[in-house]
Structure 1
Amino acid sequence: MKQLKDILAKSILYGGTDLLTHTQQVVTCISKMSENFKYEFDSKLALKGAILHDLGKAHPKFQKRISGKDKKTLLEKFEDENYILRHEISSMAFLPCFPNEEWPVLIDMVIAHHKSIVSPNYEGRGILDLKTQDRNWIQNHLIEWNDWQKYGIAIIKSFGFDCVDYITLEQAENALKYASQYCEAKKKGWSPYRGLLKAADHFASALEKNAEENLKYTFETPDLSYYRTKDRYNDFYPLSKVTTDDFRPHSMVVAPTGAGKTDFLLRRTKGRVFYTLPFQASIDAMWVRLKKTVPNKDIRVLHGMSKIVADKNNVDEQLLQPLVGSSIKVLTPYQLAGILFGISGFETILLDIQGCDIILDEVHTYSGYSRSMILEIVRVLKNFGCRIHIGTATMPTVLYKELLEILGGKENVYEVKLSDSELSTYNRHNIFKESNKTDINLIIQNSIEKNEKLLIICNTIKKAQIIYKNILYKFPDTPKMLIHSRFKRADRLRRELDLKEIYNGNGENNLGLSPCIVVATQVVEVSLDISFDRMITECAPLDSMIQRFGRVNRIRNEESRLVQKPIHIIEPEGNVLPYKLDLLQKSFEQLPDNGEVLEEKTLQEKIDNVYPHLDKKEIDIHLKFKDGRFTMKELTDNKKGILIEALEIEGATCILESDRERYIESNWDERIRLEIPINWKTIYRYKNEYEQLKVGSYPFVIPQKEEEYEKYGLQLVEQNIIL
């Protein structure tokens, strides 16, 4: 007979945590979370769910497989057997230890904390799938029941709850039947209790023995006193002098880049903050900024690189990033979009965000499906009691009006805009329209001779790579860099830091990078605090171009207010993907030429000329939250592919062939550093050309030379082409 300490919850390969210890960790987490989420939980009942959730792991099949030292995953191991075991289902056999009236909530918490009750991927692992496909599913989940139930009962009693000493096999079978019937009868909606258990289980599993220490810093209201001191008042930043003491819950702020929108939006918050930005580079920069200015320990960043951006020497900080309870979380709207589409974990996101302050920075930068997604996100956030604060430098009036209406109109929204006289102090740029035949090498040479920092922005990665190759050849002695999304995650982070700390330097750093050249894509458009002297840019939609312009002559002081700096815009022609030619032509026509100053006060009218109507894409077919309620069955999830398909976001990864063996042999955090994110539609046409690994994120293996990659980033090529 085994001792209780020998009943494992985790494989030896993953620490070998015993079931009682893991249960204690989850109980600790759920106690804190049930008291701090805005939803009113029955804390005592929540604690019982935490105790129950993994008791099925005492099943002999689970224990046999989890005790092994081979490198197969549990899923692979279980597929070696002739039946499927879901430990959540076996846990249901312990329901007789609790009052019958508590069973529904306990089932909500436990039965789908790993898998939906009906699998969204047709893999047949939910309780209702197994009930349909395996006539012996109950017997399989109770094999040798009389031998192992004592471990679960002992764990329940260890927490001080009265419990029977023995559960008959018939009682256990009836409990499983009840659970399946309960799941079959589920209506449409969402389960807060499922989200609560998932939140606690993930927190405990990620941090284990350090969970309790890290819980101390969760659910704190951030200390934003730095942004509220008089030292932050400055005549050069007009929003710093605008009061934020307004009773209305929501905010909409329209002001140029460099007007102090970030400070203003933060000063408008009252609780925990979710700060959304569209691009990874700006997210990283914002996270670093907040870490330096907000004393709360729990400030997080959430996106594909979050575990890299977090302190590489602080494992807890890496693990915390996707978990609940942070004082401030910096993220993209895609992490919130899971709510709309019912992606796995959406209940936990809802609990975490409910009643918090949400800052949506530069929502106008989205178009098509993404713009429609933002409108739907605002609807769902308002529905769940969030205070929403929107900041933008450029927003079409039609979009502004729709957001204002969603938020409840002027009675509920504090609106702030700058006066024409204030806007005139942001007349920072001389505009030069260039034809497609313009030799940009002459502009580059002129910039170098003037000792300027030059920023070149392209609409596609391929074009950025072509231009960078030309610069390497034509201007070999000028410091230069290339930045876009198709670098390894760790390499991209390094380039982002170089962009801010070296190429954005003032010429007094160690490398003395004036002059210098940076070639980039749209990744530098939004909320990135960099200031260059000159820009060459391909024509883009007007709102995007205005954002790009904000990276030139950004520094605010007495001298800069009297100086304009040059922007060169290449006329759109031919294939202008990813944009539409007519949109770019309209945008190009709105801008002045021949070095004329771009007047900030005229931008709203120009934007409205380009966007007289709100261009939205129909996403209703994918939405699972409509008209204030969820339209999917409780305890079920939607496929993640729906999110990728609807929003056309990066849904695949690549690695270099030179990293193949290292990737296979590495742990999860090292693999992240090697991965190169890519849009699924882009890689799909090559899917038969490249090997796709069956480990980690299932990356495609690209046969590109390392030295070529170091210069240009990922380049998709046919297998037989030598770079």
Structure 2
Amino acid sequence: MGRRGRAGGRAGPAGSSRSVRPCGSAVVKLRDLLAKSQPRESLTSHLAATLDGGIALRRRVGNVQVLDEATGGLFWAVACLAMLCHDAGKIPDGFQFMLKGHIKAWGERHEVVSLGFLPALLEDEQLLLWTATGVATHHRSLEGGRGALLSLYGHATETEWRDRLQPIPHGAAIELRDWLLDIAQRSRLPVVEVPSRSLDVIEEARQLFDRLCQWWELSASDDRGLTAVLLQGAVTLADHVSSAHGVLHMHQPLNGDFRPHLENALAGRGHELRPHQTEAAALSGHLLLRAPTGSGKTEAGLLWAATQATEMAVRTGGIPRVFLTLPYLASINAMAVRLGDLLQNEELVGVMHSRAASFHLAAAVCSDDDEEQHVEAARKAVSRAAATRLFRETVRVGTPYQILRGVLAGPAHSSTLIDAANSVFVLDELHAYDPQRLGYILATAGLWEKLGGRIAVLSATLPDALAGAFRDALKAPIHLVEADTAGTPVRHRLSLRDRHLTDRKSIEEMRQRLADGEAVLVVANNVADAQLMFAELAPAVEEDEAFLLHSRFRRMDRSALETAINERFGVGRGRHPGLVVATQVVEVSLDVDFDCLFTSAAPLEALLQRFGRVNRIAARPPADVIVHPAAFAPRRAKGPDFADGVYARIPVELGWNILNRYDGEAVDETQARIWLDDVYGTDWGQEWRTEVEHHRRTFSDAFLGFAHPFVSREELAERFDELFDGTEAVLAQDRDAYEADLTSVDGNRKAGRLLAERYLIPMPYWAAPLTTWEKKLGVRILNADYDERFGLGRIRGPAAQTYQAGEVL
């Protein structure tokens, strides 16, 4: 770590009141010192609560081998000491004056002052430096990035330290030291009353800060650096839980009682466990599960997870968390509801995605015209989502990318890593055809394994290439379980056409199916084609029988559409004629059942998911799934060809060639797996495997190396957001309504923002220049046409020529 601070210290940050120098009080008692002003909380209460939160976290996470090896078995002792002392540095008059409203801002960092109390409690140098690491880094990075501690204090002289951080009430400091020693001893932490140490807090802090920077100046081993990041995460998490007065759940419902509970539930419906479910439940270690739709794949994964959680609780002494990940928000929301029903308590299940609060708000039963009820539901939804962000629940459903964010480390993300230690991960329906994201997930799965985790991959198809990629990424053996597909009803009859989905003859064929009273699903590869098809086909049925679904609707309109589609075409709802035109969002986001499918060609995995929306539970003879060739062209008239502007050409063509062999035939789940193995067994498949490995190594090198654990990762965070996160915008015509919602909940701006989110339209990250940023509202504004049935239309403005609807998935 380079010593690159500026000599002579620095002025306070913009907006601070450094010119107002508080004077030391003649007598200040420890009981008068605050840690928080809103709500008001005493310093000792906050420190004690943070330690309590840390003890609860220790109990939940348990012993992590790699962390104990790096710290000589003292990881949790170090973490709890750092939690107890982390905010001791709020004792200076400047910080107290700020909390009490006498000055606007103090302009200094309390965590460096906190270091000054440690030498009076700890004699062992290694224990002291590890504890100092946790204390110093719970808000800021040591080096690089905005406000790094080294740049603020690394070259300040002793006189400058005193000038900037004093006065400190000496009597209260002595009281605090004695209080810290007493609490630590009562908690059986490895402290000693260091003899003959005067309590010069600022000088002790300066000397320890200098030693700490030297300790981390050279590259650390990956295990030591990883331990430091998880220490930072533990302190940060305990601090946040304490500040929010939150509680961590200490019960894992997926335990030894889950299997008999599930068996009783199945027996009540006249069913029993299937062989692949029983086999998964008996396994110890990583799992690859290949089971067709409707075979109880999810239940098999949960039975496996319950076994792992039970074993790991004994081995680690902790309470393992169980993460279930799916690729789409709607499927995550449906799984959260399903799990809540299965476990008979929705409060046990956390929802981990960027719209979790919106999910909880949508789940609340509110009258459309009862504004007070909506406001109260928004308050509760914000509170529930905040609890999940504090890692409250031991069962959580989300996207893989929410957990991946932990690798960004730093105070904002390292808590995710400590929470993932000794956890169980069930990854459902990963898409192999996206080598970049798959490579990143594989890299992170290796980290989860290193932290004591166990991983399962569930798929209806699971090509051998994907199974092999996971075997290469993990060190421990992976057990393969396959459902017996003998006797599985054949659900689909494959038909290919020689014309594009949007061709006039194609449209006439779809109209005839609608005229015959069938439930017809049409899936296009891009929004432009979907909108065109809907405009052509919707007049063929009644208005309330036709729906268009894609990702460029306002949230409230998308939610209403999905609800209406489920009510009409959902499994178990009976057969109703009608039309749904959709893009890829329909692949795993809705539990629906149609009579026939018309789709553009796509990679086989995507097509198989689309097939799965037809004759879903095999209640009828094989139903028609009709595939049309894609149109291949470069994006924006340059570069390689893409299918309908979306998918790479070669895998789509390979899949099309395989489907040609079975044109006109009834096809089953076993054939689908063989098809995928054929695709990935080609030269392109070898290139795919090489690309996956490249991205796995790239992600490992960029994000999973912790040789310099306390260097800011702000640049990496931006790269991560570009890869996994989109953006959102409000239509110009909705701006005033959005602003009104923001202020509609008195005293709770977060709840107001949640209500306002109904107007947001998701956009890809690269589309941000099509919008304008309105600082006052904290949102992007989009000047565009919009229709509640068609969604986002033409974008107007200086950047309009850069937008092509076909490129927006």
Q: Per the shorter chain, which TM-score range?
A: 0.7 to 0.9
1:301 maps to 351
1:652 maps to 727
User: 1:363 touches 1:392 (CA, 8 Å); kept in 2?
Assistant: yes
Q: Deviation per CA, 1:130-180: give whole Å up to 9, x if none.
A: 235766873465232246746854763684768789535433433443344
2:258 maps to 224
Q: Deviation per CA, 1:403-451: give whole Å up to 9, x if none.
A: 2344458xx333222446345x244344343511244443443343343
In structure 2, what residue type is equivalent to 1:29? G
Q: Deviation per CA, 1:271-322: give whole Å up to 9, x if none.
A: 1311111111111111110011114642111011112223643554222222
Identify if the C-alpha distance between structure 1 residues 239 and 715 changes in structure 2 by more than 3 Å, giving closer, same or farther. farther
CA distance in 2, matches of 1:365, 1:281: 20
CA distance in 1, matches of 2:532, 2:31: 61
Identify if the C-alpha distance between structure 1 residues 302 and 497 changes in structure 2 by more than 3 Å, giving closer, same or farther. farther
Does residue 251 (structure 1) correspond to residue 276 (structure 2)? The answer is no
CA distance in 1, matches of 2:558, 2:779: 17
Does residue 699 (structure 1) correspond to residue 779 (structure 2)? The answer is yes
Does residue 682 (structure 1) correspond to residue 782 (structure 2)? The answer is no
User: 1:341 touches 1:624 (CA, 8 Å); kept in 2?
Assistant: no
Identify if the C-alpha distance between structure 1 residues 577 and 644 changes in structure 2 by more than 3 Å, giving closer, same or farther. farther
User: 1:307 touches 1:318 (CA, 8 Å); kept in 2?
Assistant: yes
User: 2:57 touches 2:248 (CA, 8 Å); kept in 1?
Assistant: no
User: 1:218 touches 1:325 (CA, 8 Å); kept in 2?
Assistant: no
The aligned runs of 1:409-448 (5 Å cut-off) are: 412-419=477-484, 421-423=486-488, 425-433=489-497, 435-436=499-500, 437-448=503-514
Per mean C-alpha deviation after superposition, the further-off stretch among 426-435 and 285-294 is: 426-435
User: 1:478 touches 1:515 (CA, 8 Å); kept in 2?
Assistant: no
The aligned runs of 1:87-236 (5 Å cut-off) are: 87-101=110-124, 102-119=127-144, 122-123=145-146, 125-131=147-153, 138-139=161-162, 142-146=165-169, 149=173, 152-153=176-177, 156=180, 159=183, 166-167=199-200, 169-184=202-217, 187-188=220-221, 189-190=225-226, 191=228, 192-206=230-244, 208=245, 211=246, 214-217=247-250, 221-222=254-255, 224-225=258-259, 226-229=261-264, 231=267
User: 1:276 touches 1:330 (CA, 8 Å); kept in 2?
Assistant: yes
CA distance in 2, matches of 1:475, 1:9: 64
Identify if the C-alpha distance between structure 1 residues 417 and 630 changes in structure 2 by more than 3 Å, giving closer, same or farther. same
In structure 1, what residue type is equivalent to 2:335? M
CA distance in 1, matches of 2:520, 2:410: 42
Identify if the C-alpha distance between structure 1 residues 594 and 438 changes in structure 2 by more than 3 Å, giving closer, same or farther. farther
CA distance in 2, matches of 1:292, 1:109: 40
Q: Deviation per CA, 1:214-256: give whole Å up to 9, x if none.
A: 3354556555344344528978995566533544412111122
In structure 2, what residue type is equivalent to 1:54? D
Does residue 603 (structure 1) correspond to residue 672 (structure 2)? The answer is yes
Q: Deviation per CA, 1:9-44: give whole Å up to 9, x if none.
A: 3453xx344433333332221111112213365555
2:49 maps to 25
Structure 1 position 265, deviation (Å): 1.1
Indicate the SS of the match to 1:604.
helix
Structure 2 gap segments, 5+ residues each: 1-24, 69-73, 186-191, 310-320, 362-376, 634-643, 801-809
In structure 1, what residue type is equivalent to 2:707? M
Structure 1 position 262, deviation (Å): 0.6
Identify if the C-alpha distance between structure 1 residues 179 and 406 changes in structure 2 by more than 3 Å, giving closer, same or farther. closer
User: 1:359 touches 1:388 (CA, 8 Å); kept in 2?
Assistant: yes
In structure 1, what residue type is equivalent to 2:699? L
Structure 1 gap segments, 5+ residues each: 71-76
CA distance in 1, matches of 2:663, 2:562: 33
Which of the numbers 434, 439, 442 marks the counterpart of 1:375?
442
CA distance in 2, matches of 1:490, 1:345: 30
1:74 maps to none
Structure 1 position 654, deviation (Å): 2.0
Indicate the SS of the match to 1:370.
helix
In structure 1, what residue type is equivalent to 2:772? E
2:517 maps to 451
1:73 maps to none
CA distance in 1, matches of 2:505, 2:49: 64
In structure 2, what residue type is equivalent to 1:9? A
1:623 maps to 699
In structure 2, what residue type is equivalent to 1:281? A
User: 1:302 touches 1:332 (CA, 8 Å); kept in 2?
Assistant: yes
Identify if the C-alpha distance between structure 1 residues 221 and 289 changes in structure 2 by more than 3 Å, giving closer, same or farther. closer
Which of the numbers 306, 328, 336 marks the counterpart of 1:279?
328
In structure 1, what residue type is equivalent to 2:35? A
CA distance in 2, matches of 1:577, 1:587: 17
Q: Deviation per CA, 1:187-230: give whole Å up to 9, x if none.
A: 24222322211221222233x2xx2xx33545565553443445
User: 1:234 touches 1:241 (CA, 8 Å); kept in 2?
Assistant: no
Does residue 554 (structure 1) correspond to residue 612 (structure 2)? The answer is no
In structure 2, what residue type is equivalent to 1:127? L
Structure 1 position 572, deviation (Å): 0.8
1:384 maps to 451
Per mean C-alpha deviation after superposition, the further-off stretch among 298-307 and 432-441 is: 432-441
Does residue 590 (structure 1) correspond to residue 658 (structure 2)? The answer is yes
- Alignment: residue pair count: 684
In structure 1, what residue type is equivalent to 2:533? I
The aligned runs of 1:205-604 (5 Å cut-off) are: 205-206=243-244, 208=245, 211=246, 214-217=247-250, 221-222=254-255, 224-225=258-259, 226-229=261-264, 231=267, 242-269=278-305, 270=307, 271=309, 272-295=321-344, 297-310=347-360, 312=377, 313=380, 316-324=383-391, 326-340=393-407, 342=409, 345-407=412-474, 412-419=477-484, 421-423=486-488, 425-433=489-497, 435-436=499-500, 437-472=503-538, 475=541, 477-489=543-555, 492-504=558-570, 514-526=576-588, 528-556=590-618, 559-560=619-620, 563-575=621-633, 576-592=644-660, 595-604=664-673
CA distance in 1, matches of 2:563, 2:90: 45
Does residue 634 (structure 1) correspond to residue 737 (structure 2)? The answer is no
Per mean C-alpha deviation after superposition, the further-off stretch among 475-484 and 387-396 is: 475-484
CA RMSD of aligned residues (A): 3.7
CA distance in 2, matches of 1:549, 1:69: 66
In structure 1, what residue type is equivalent to 2:774? L
Per mean C-alpha deviation after superposition, the further-off stretch among 600-609 and 239-248 is: 239-248
User: 1:305 touches 1:672 (CA, 8 Å); kept in 2?
Assistant: no
CA distance in 2, matches of 1:54, 1:655: 40
2:369 maps to none
Indicate the SS of the match to 2:279.
coil
Per mean C-alpha deviation after superposition, the further-off stretch among 456-465 and 666-675 is: 666-675
Instruction: Name the structure where helix makes up a greater proportion of residues.
Output: 2
Structure 1 position 181, deviation (Å): 3.4
CA distance in 1, matches of 2:118, 2:731: 50
Q: TM-score, normalised by structure 1?
A: 0.83
The aligned runs of 1:712-723 (5 Å cut-off) are: 712-715=790-793, 717-719=795-797
User: 2:240 touches 2:390 (CA, 8 Å); kept in 1?
Assistant: yes
Q: Deviation per CA, 1:89-131: give whole Å up to 9, x if none.
A: 2322322342132422222222111222123xx32x1212323
CA distance in 2, matches of 1:366, 1:380: 23
CA distance in 1, matches of 2:537, 2:35: 57
Structure 1 position 395, deviation (Å): 3.0
Q: TM-score, normalised by structure 2?
A: 0.75
Indicate the SS of the match to 2:204.
helix
In structure 1, what residue type is equivalent to 2:781? V
Indicate the SS of the match to 1:144.
coil
